[in-house]
Amino acid sequence: MTALIPHLLDVRPEVVDALRVRRPVVALESTLIAHGLPWPLNLETARAAETEVRRQGAIPATIAVLGGTPTVGVSNDELELLAHGEGVRKAGRRDIAPAITARATAATTVSGTLGLAYLAGIRVLATGGIGGVHPHSGPEWEPADISSDILELSRVPVGVVCAGAKSILDLRATLEALETHSVPVVGYGTDNFPAFYLRGSGWQVSARVESAEEAALLFNAHWQLGGAGVVLARPVDDEVALDPDDFDAALSKAKTQAARGAIRGPALTPYLLARVAEHTSGRSLQANHALVIANAGLAARVATAYVAQGG
C-alpha cells in the first residue's frame, strides 16, 4: 500500500522541474490559510510567504489535499479556495487517507505536510509554529493533548523552519517530548527556544546555528546518521513580538473561554489563537503574519544552502 501513495500525489510541474534540476524547493503547510488566520489576512500571508521564498531564490510548494488529491504546489486560485472556501478540513497525518477516500479538500498541518513533502522529494518545510503538548488542566485520568507534529518529526527526515512552538502550549513539556523522540531543536541565532509570538520561552534549545549554511550542514549530518526531523527555530522579529505580560493576560482569558465552551482536541489551538487575537487587538495576528513570511525566507536560504552542499 505504501508504494502506491506517491502515485496519488499531484506534484505540480514547476515543483517537478525544480527538483529534477536540483533547484531549492520549500514546502509550506496550509492549515494557517484555512484555519489559522482570518480572511483576508490568511490569503495575504500565504501569498506573501510564497513571494518571499521566490525572492530568496527557491520555489515555493504549498501543500494541501484538493478534492481528494494530495497536491504539492497549489496554484494561486487554489490558495484562495483554501482561504475562503467552506468545508475545508484540517488534516494531520492520520487524516490524509480519509480525505483522499472522501475526495475532500483539506488544509494540511505540519504533521500532514511533512510526509507529503518528503514523498515529493522536498527536505525543508516552513511554518509559523509547530504543535506540541497542551497544558494539562483536566482530571488525572484524561490523556494529555499532544500534537502529532512531534511524532511525525521523529519519523520524517525533513527540516522544519518555525518560530518555535505556539505560545499557548506547555513549552517545557513540548521540548521534553521532542528530546524523547530524538528531534534536535536548533536555535537560529539564539540559545532560548522561541515561543511564536514571544521571542523567547526561557527554555534552552539543544543546539544553535548562526547561518543558513550552518543549519543545512546540521540537517545533512543528522540525516546521514539516520535521524529524522529537525526543528530550526527562529525568534519572531522584535518589532512585532508581543509583550510577555500582555500575552499571558490574553491567553488566560482565552483559556477561560475555551473551558466554558468545552473546546478541546483539534479545535483547541485555532480557538485559542483566535481569542488571543481578540484580546490583543489584533497584535498577535500582525506577529503571526510577519513570522510566517520571515520563516519562509529563512527556509528558502536553508534549502538553497542544502542543495549547494550536495544534499
Catalytic residue list: 29, 166
Q: Is the pTM of this model over 0.85?
A: yes
Task: Give dist(CA 27, CA 216) in Å, integer.
Answer: 15
> Around Cβ 220, how many Cβ atoms within 10 Å?
17
Task: Give dist(CA 94, CA 112) in Å, integer.
Answer: 8
> Which residues share a beta bridge with 64?
71, 107
Instruction: Output the nine-digit C-alpha cell for 124.
Output: 525543508
Express each pLDDT in 290-309 by its tens digit.
Answer: 999 999 999 999 999 999 99
- Beta strand 89-91 with 230-233 is unpaired
Q: CB under 8 Å to 291, separation ≥6 — which residues?
A: 128, 129, 163, 196, 234, 236, 237, 240
> Which residues share a beta bridge with 60?
26
> Which residues share a beta bridge with 25?
59
Closest CA to 192 of 134, 244, 251, 136: 244
Determine the average pLDDT of the residues in 3-16. 78
239 pLDDT more than 50: yes
Alpha helix (H) residue ranges in 188-227? 212-224
195-30-93 Cα angle (round to 5): 85
Mean pLDDT (the chain, rounded): 93
Task: Give dist(CA 298, CA 176) in Å, integer.
Answer: 25
Express each pLDDT in 202-224 by its tens digit.
Answer: 999 999 999 999 999 999 999 99
268-279 and 283-308 helices, crossing angle to 10°: 120
CA 278 vs CA 89, 148, 250, 253: distances in Å? 24, 27, 8, 10
Determine the average pLDDT of the residues in 182-190. 98
Strands (E), the chain: 10-11, 25-28, 59-66, 69-72, 89-91, 106-108, 124-126, 159-162, 185-188, 207-209, 230-233
All structural domains of the chain: 2-308 (3.40.1790.10)
Share of the chain above pLDDT 70, in %: 95
Q: CB under 8 Å to 21, separation ≥6 — which residues?
A: none
CA 208 vs CA 158, 164, 171, 233, 279: distances in Å? 18, 13, 18, 9, 33
59 pLDDT more than 70: yes
Instruction: Output the nine-digit C-alpha cell for 116.
Output: 507529503
Instruction: Output the nine-digit C-alpha cell for 123.
Output: 527536505
Express each pLDDT in 120-161 by its tens digit.
Answer: 999 999 999 999 998 865 556 566 788 999 999 999 999 999
For residue 8, the model assigns a pLDDT of: 83
For residue 274, the model assigns a pLDDT of: 86
